[in-house]
Amino acid sequence: MCLLWILASAALAVIDFRLGGIALAACPLALAVLRALPSPWGDIWVNRARGTDMLTMVFVSALLLTLSLTVPGG
């Protein structure tokens, strides 16, 4: 699923850099939402705490979104 999302983001980046960056930032955010779902949907990763996974993915998503919106477009 993530690989398809990355390919879609690359295709959107050809159209507009920021659009590709926003789409790329949406992937970890969607994974955080998936992790927040109750069992059995949220039990994909069982070796770490659920809150740690969600916080990490939201943080990565925010960093990607900030980076894609602050880099000057050409």
> How many residues are listed for the chain in this entry?
74
Q: pLDDT averaged over the chain?
A: 85
- For 24, the token pair is 């790329």
DSSP H helical ranges for 1-74: 2-15, 17-36, 50-70
Of residues 45 and 36, which shows the higher confidence score?
A: 36
CA 24 to CA 35: how far, in whole Å?
18
Give me the residue spans of the domains in the chain: 2-70
Say which residue, 72 or 52, is predicted with more confidence. Answer: 52
* Residue 71 phi, psi dihedral angles, 5° rounding: -70, 130
Main-chain dihedrals φ then ψ at residue 26, nearest 5 degrees: -70, -25
pLDDT confidence band for 65 (50 / 70 / 90) = very high
| pLDDT given for residue 36 in this prediction | 84
